[in-house]
Amino acid sequence: MFDRPASEGNRAVLVQLDFGAGGLAERLAEFQMLAGSAGAETVAIIQGRRKAPDPALYAGSGKVDEIAAEVLASGADIVIFNHELSAGQQRNLERVLQRRVIDRTTLILDIFALRAKSHEGKLQVELAQLEHLATRLVRGWTHLERQKGGIGLRGPGEKQLETDRRLLGKRVALLKERLRQLEKQRKVRRRSRERSEVPVVSLVGYTNAGKSTLFNALCKAGAYAADQLFATLDTTSRRVYLHDAQRHMVLSDTVGFIRDLPHSVVAAFHATLEETAQADLLLHVVDASSADREAQIDVVNEVLAEIGAGDVPQILVWNKIDMTHGVPTVEEDGYGKIERILLSARTGEGLDLLRNALARQLFPIMIAGEALGPPASPMDDSDQADS
């Protein structure tokens, strides 16, 4: 398991306020999963309704008093807001509550830090964390240099905070340079794929929609898959042989999206997410069992537009029909264009329909019976090209 075990120091009071956005129950359920994925033990949930956030305390003084009472009663170690707090609001809340306070962005970045396994993934997460924390720099950062006291690092009369910001800036610049080098390597691999005329298909979707389970089912890849948020963070690619077309494609499993995805994450992962924008086809995986699926589809499409992948052709894949008693189906529009496929990656129901749909979409001339040259020889589906 990648999750940090819940233990002392992780007893959390969760706070979610209603500003009239709707979908409150779904947001709260997702918030609880996020907290659990970070290793928090939820000891209390505080809710309330406001017209707008309080400038100083976000929740308002009365609600903060209620949170403080619950913190004392439950013995909580940390308070987590399902909202983005300003640096001032966070400091004010910590002063009143006498507990560590984190917001939704910090929580998501913490989970990303737990999940990242590749060298590039770890660099991207660290960059996102540092750029987010730089906006609320109130404590010492000299640990970045692994030296206590900063001896030999300060100029005459330089304040500690100025030293900390300088060290932080140096680390951010170093991370960006390393990621630029890795991005160059990825572009070389991409040009190689383009020369070989192998189409690229990317799996996208809301976190926990079942992308990695579908990836494993199609590729026999053994990628990590679990019923948890952000189980996959590092992009993985495999060559897949489509028997109907007698051709190969490259299938990529990518990080899942989530509502209110921090901009620092999108910025830090832009190179990885750019792979999605360069794909020939997107398989938009949807959790068919989720009551919030329509809103989740909208969230994914908004992020795709933000990263420049809004115009890439996509097929909706409604996954987990084994939990809805659905029937494997391929739905087409009036012109024969594939719009949606219903399947279960876990049981394998409908996978043959998806493979046939991919062949039709990627190699339409061949499927129509016209030759495109000698067929490609089948290769082991585990032939890999990890990103």
The domain that contains 294 carries what CATH number?
A: 3.40.50.300
Domain boundary (53, 73, 102) is at 102
Q: What is the pLDDT of residue 387?
A: 45
Q: Is residue 191 part of a domain?
A: no
Q: What is the pLDDT of residue 379?
A: 46
Question: 96 and 148 share a domain?
Answer: no
Q: Which segments of the chain are extended strands (E)?
A: 11-18, 41-49, 78-81, 100-102, 200-205, 236-242, 247-253, 281-287, 314-319, 329-332, 338-342
Q: Is residue 387 part of a domain?
A: no
| Residue 243, CA distances (Å) to 87, 201, 260 in order | 55, 16, 40
Question: 338 and 205 share a domain?
Answer: yes
Question: 94 and 204 share a domain?
Answer: no
Task: Kindly report the CATH number assigned to the domain that includes residue 66.
Answer: 3.40.50.11060
Q: How far apart are CA 81 and CA 83, in angstroms?
A: 5
Q: Is residue 384 part of a domain?
A: no
Question: Worst-scoring range by mean pLDDT, 21-25, 26-30, 267-271?
Answer: 267-271
- As given in the structure block, the two tokens for residue 294 are 């329509």
Question: 264 and 204 share a domain?
Answer: yes
Asked if 321 contacts 313 with a C-beta cutoff of 8 angstroms, the reply is no
- As given in the structure block, the two tokens for residue 241 are 């042989």
Question: 98 and 121 share a domain?
Answer: no
Question: 93 and 129 share a domain?
Answer: no
**Mean of pLDDT values over 270-292:** 86
Total domains in the fold of the chain: 3
- Residue whose pair of structure tokens reads 């299938």 in the numeric block: 251
Question: 166 and 288 share a domain?
Answer: no
The predicted-structure confidence for 348-378, as pLDDT tens digits, reads as follows 999 999 999 999 999 886 555 544 444 455 5
Average per-residue pLDDT for the chain:
81
Question: 215 and 353 share a domain?
Answer: yes
What is the helix (H) or strand (E) element at residue 73, kind and residue range? helix 61-74
Question: Worst-scoring range by mean pLDDT, 94-98, 148-152, 207-211, 328-332?
Answer: 148-152
Sequence-ordered list of residues with C-beta below 8 angstroms from that of 348, at least 6 positions apart, any chain: 217
Q: What is the pLDDT of residue 18?
A: 94
- Residue whose pair of structure tokens reads 């009143």 in the numeric block: 96
Q: Is residue 152 part of a domain?
A: yes
Sequence-ordered list of residues with C-beta below 8 angstroms from that of 23, at least 6 positions apart, any chain: 292, 295
- Residue whose pair of structure tokens reads 């049981």 in the numeric block: 347
Q: Is residue 123 part of a domain?
A: yes
Q: What is the pLDDT of residue 153?
A: 40
Q: Is residue 159 part of a domain?
A: yes
Q: Is the pLDDT of residue 201 over 90?
A: yes
Q: What is the DSSP letter of 224?
A: -
Question: 211 and 333 share a domain?
Answer: yes
Q: Is residue 188 part of a domain?
A: no
- Selected residue with higher pLDDT from 225 and 213: 213
Question: 362 and 302 share a domain?
Answer: yes
Asked if 76 contacts 44 with a C-beta cutoff of 8 angstroms, the reply is yes
Q: Is the pLDDT of residue 147 over 90?
A: no
Q: List the domain range (segments joined by +) for residue 63.
A: 11-102
Question: Worst-scoring range by mean pLDDT, 28-37, 76-85, 187-196, 327-336?
Answer: 187-196
Q: Is residue 253 part of a domain?
A: yes
Q: What is the pLDDT of residue 67?
A: 97
Q: What is the pLDDT of residue 161?
A: 63
Question: 330 and 279 share a domain?
Answer: yes
Question: 125 and 169 share a domain?
Answer: yes
Q: What is the pLDDT of residue 140?
A: 43
| Residue 33, CA distances (Å) to 185, 244, 262 in order | 35, 40, 17
Q: What is the pTM of this model?
A: 0.77
Which of 131, 129, 19, 130 lies closest to 82 in space, CA to CA?
Answer: 19
